[in-house]
A and B are shown apart, each in its own frame.
Chain A
Amino acid sequence: MTGALSSLSAMRWAAIGVAVVIAAIFPLVYTDPYYMTIIVTAEIVLILNISWNFILGMAGVWNFGQLAIYALGAYGSGWLMLHQTWLPLWLAILAGGVCSAIVSVLLAFPTLRLFGIYTSLLTFSFAQVVQYVAVNDPRGLTGGSFGYPTVPPLFSTLDQEAYLRNYYWTCGAVALAACFAVAWLRQSHLGISLRSLRDAPAYAAARGVNPRVTRVVAFGLSGFLAGIAGALYLSFEQSFTTSQMGLTPMSIDVTMLVIGGLGTVTGPLVGTAVVTAIQTVLIDYPGWQLTILGAVLLVIVVFIPGGVIGLLARWNSRISAWVAEDTG
């Protein structure tokens, strides 16, 4: 363990440890199925957002095809769950991640020559093609807009309470592992290469960072995580419709990332929590959800460019500067 993880102080580690323990005990105390379902769904979205934040915020590659990658993870693992029943379900979920990683790497190649906005348009086009093919799928592999056929769930022998709790732990563990992986990767050779390529592509390349290899690896890692998220979603919700990769979920996910702070490790966590809370509060006014989210997105981008995490970091540094002034 190097870099970000070792640079955390003992205090921080203790705080993280306490938070994790509280989060782990939480479902034993709280069992309301309605809110537990929302929380588990949010955990899955969090995994997706971590993967997207890695490629969009940290690597600075304008990948707007992440939801298609996510969907392909769901379809890939779903096919295995339905048609290769000898396979353990957790392996099918993992295979969904592998399937997405492969597609994501393939998607990386045509983007290698592109910059900025063109990358976003190409990946967005890719997502549109995937969505159209899935909707109009002639052989019924995806279930079209009616949704994927019901797959066998994990923990099918448990009662509803324990079932939700186990999903909560599983998805939470994956999200936690993803968070740590990204924090570690951020300070690793790969992460530094990615960030330098994002901030100064020509200089980074001149200093010996290979833009192609780095970008392809970043796509692969991010795709793997997105695929796992998709497979978990299919497994938990027991369905996957093509609207899951439409414009509405995409705008919600982008809002989450921007609110939290693009390119930060904890940004997706904060963003997902805040937006899910807003959505849950406004659940009785479905029409207003997106209106308000759109307004929030606009305000955050215009007035708080770094997102919530960036704002906190600025306050933090201002306070420590103030303290240092006082003591020194």
Chain B
Amino acid sequence: MTDLVAIIANGIVYGSIYGLVAIGMTLIYGTMRILDMSQGSMVMIGSYVGWWALAVHGVNPVLALLLAFVVAFIFGTATELVSVQPLLGRRNDVDFEMVTFITTFAVAILLTNVALQHYGPFQKNVPPIVHGNLELYNGVSITYHELTMAGLSVALMGALGLFLARTRWGFAIRAVAQDLDAARTLGVPVTRLYPVTMGLASALAGVGGVFLGALYFASPTAGDLPLLLALIVVVLGGLGSLSGTLYAAYLVGLMQAFCEVKIGTTWTLPILYGAILLILVVRPYGLRGTPSETRL
């Protein structure tokens, strides 16, 4: 019973944060057919912003989160302008998915190493957003920081859903996801929409980075593990499927919590990747993915 409570509580906490980081990747893939490898770097940038604001300057946590959102948004937009925008005109000449996979990967290498140059390899402690913890059951406790993280992640994902369902920009993003050429014909400004989409996704990852920074550390490679987990989540859910990403995020969170409680931390990633191998063999497009072009 104690184990079960611990697994479920941790699983939901992990699942929420993975959902937040992975939903950006899904949004980008669903809209632009780009597997954005720089999302991990956005998490890294978010944790450095969190460290800079919270530990160095003692800023109000809400302000720190907002700052991370804005900074990551700017970086995400810049990444799109550098690594995707020049390729848009050549969509038909090059293998777009492959090439953008490589360019965003190049951006990730760049950002990681610039951070390494600037901040050095040492880990920086990021203070938690909220202190204290909540006793759940028989010695199982959960920190308020984790609780805030889960709550805010869910809230942000809900806000993203509303944004996509209700606003003009949301309509435009969904239209592009459904049919790029038709959306263009009807006047959707794709060259402006792409940077905004990527910026938005990166901003979510950046906010996730502030939370994750307090759980782990801020370091140049802080984005690697979130990126690997986000990859697992998006593949499991089916690339480009928002609902699939949510299911998969909680599934992965619960699986990770289960592994940590029952088997041991070192085996978590191999087991998750093993699960992916199996799922992809049975369902080549993930749990909720569709082979056709109808996504989001």
Is the pair B231, A294 in contact by a Cβ cutoff of 8 Å?
Answer: no
Is the pair A290, B231 in contact by a Cβ cutoff of 8 Å?
Answer: no
Given contacts A290-B113, A291-B110, A305-B94, contact A132 B102 (CB under 8 A): no
Interchain CA distance A309-B94 in the complex, whole Å: 16
Interface string of A40-60 (1 = CB under 8 A from B): 000000000000000000001
The residues of B that contact A115 with a CB separation of less than 8 Å are: 284
Kindly state whether residue A241 has any CB partner on chain B within 8 Å: no
Q: In chain B, what residue has the closest Cβ to A291?
A: B113
Is the pair A287, B113 in contact by a Cβ cutoff of 8 Å?
Answer: yes
Binding site for A on B (CB under 8 A): 35, 82-83, 86-87, 90, 93-95, 97-99, 101-103, 105-110, 112-114, 116-117, 224, 228, 231-232, 235, 239, 266-267, 269-270, 273-274, 276-277, 280-281, 284-285
Is the pair B106, A298 in contact by a Cβ cutoff of 8 Å?
Answer: yes
Min C-beta distance of B117 to chain A, whole Å: 5
Given contacts A114-B280, A118-B239, A122-B280, contact A129 B273 (CB under 8 A): yes
Min C-beta distance of A118 to chain B, whole Å: 6
A118 in complex: contacting residue of B224, B228, B269, B284, CB < 8 Å: B284
Q: In chain B, what residue has the closest Cβ to A120?
A: B101
Q: What would 7 A/B residue contacts be, using CB atoms closer than 8 Å?
A: A121-B231, A125-B273, A125-B277, A128-B228, A258-B102, A290-B113, A305-B94
The residues of A that contact B113 with a CB separation of less than 8 Å are: 287-288, 290-291, 294
Kindly state whether residue A20 has any CB partner on chain B within 8 Å: no
Interchain CA distance A255-B105 in the complex, whole Å: 10
Question: Size of chain A's interface in residues, with CB distance under 8 A?
Answer: 38
Q: Known A-B contacts: A121-B280, A125-B232, A305-B93. Give 15 more (CB < 8 A).
A: A110-B281, A117-B97, A117-B101, A118-B235, A124-B231, A125-B273, A287-B117, A288-B113, A291-B117, A294-B109, A297-B103, A297-B106, A298-B107, A302-B82, A305-B99
Interface string of A111-144 (1 = CB under 8 A from B): 0011111101110111011001100100000000
Min C-beta distance of B194 to chain A, whole Å: 15
Q: In chain A, what residue has the closest Cβ to B281?
A: A110
Given contacts A113-B281, A122-B280, A291-B110, contact A132 B231 (CB under 8 A): no
The residues of A that contact B273 with a CB separation of less than 8 Å are: 125-126, 128-129, 132
B106 in complex: contacting residue of A288, A301, A303, CB < 8 Å: A301
Q: Which of A290-312 contact B (CB under 8 A)?
A: 290-291, 293-295, 297-298, 301-303, 305
Is the pair A110, B99 in contact by a Cβ cutoff of 8 Å?
Answer: no
The residues of B that contact A116 with a CB separation of less than 8 Å are: 97-98
Is the pair B103, A301 in contact by a Cβ cutoff of 8 Å?
Answer: yes
Is the pair A121, B117 in contact by a Cβ cutoff of 8 Å?
Answer: no
Interchain CA distance A128-B274 in the complex, whole Å: 10
Is the pair A294, B97 in contact by a Cβ cutoff of 8 Å?
Answer: no
The residues of B that contact A297 with a CB separation of less than 8 Å are: 102-103, 105-106, 109
Interchain CA distance A116-B274 in the complex, whole Å: 20
Interchain CA distance A136-B268 in the complex, whole Å: 12
The residues of B that contact A301 with a CB separation of less than 8 Å are: 99, 102-103, 106
Kindly state whether residue A219 has any CB partner on chain B within 8 Å: no
Min C-beta distance of A90 to chain B, whole Å: 34
Is the pair A305, B90 in contact by a Cβ cutoff of 8 Å?
Answer: yes
Minimum-distance CB pairs A-B, first 4:
A294-B109, A294-B110, A291-B113, A298-B106
Kindly state whether residue A168 has any CB partner on chain B within 8 Å: no
Is the pair A294, B276 in contact by a Cβ cutoff of 8 Å?
Answer: no
The residues of B that contact A124 with a CB separation of less than 8 Å are: 231
The residues of B that contact A128 with a CB separation of less than 8 Å are: 228, 269-270, 273
Q: In chain B, what residue has the closest Cβ to A297?
A: B106
Min C-beta distance of A141 to chain B, whole Å: 16
Kindly state whether residue A62 has any CB partner on chain B within 8 Å: yes
Select the residue from B94, B98, B107 with max chain A CB neighbours within 10 A.
Answer: B98
Is the pair B285, A122 in contact by a Cβ cutoff of 8 Å?
Answer: no
Is the pair B116, A121 in contact by a Cβ cutoff of 8 Å?
Answer: no
The residues of A that contact B87 with a CB separation of less than 8 Å are: 302
Is the pair B270, A133 in contact by a Cβ cutoff of 8 Å?
Answer: yes
Min C-beta distance of B239 to chain A, whole Å: 7
Is the pair A247, B284 in contact by a Cβ cutoff of 8 Å?
Answer: no
Interchain CA distance A303-B94 in the complex, whole Å: 12
The residues of A that contact B277 with a CB separation of less than 8 Å are: 110, 122, 125-126, 129
Interchain CA distance A290-B107 in the complex, whole Å: 11
Kindly state whether residue A251 has any CB partner on chain B within 8 Å: yes
Given contacts A124-B231, A132-B266, A305-B94, contact A247 B224 (CB under 8 A): yes
Is the pair B83, A302 in contact by a Cβ cutoff of 8 Å?
Answer: yes
The residues of A that contact B82 with a CB separation of less than 8 Å are: 298, 302
Interchain CA distance A122-B86 in the complex, whole Å: 29
Select the residue from B83, B235, B267, B273 with max chain A CB neighbours within 10 A.
Answer: B273
Min C-beta distance of A4 to chain B, whole Å: 23
Min C-beta distance of A320 to chain B, whole Å: 22
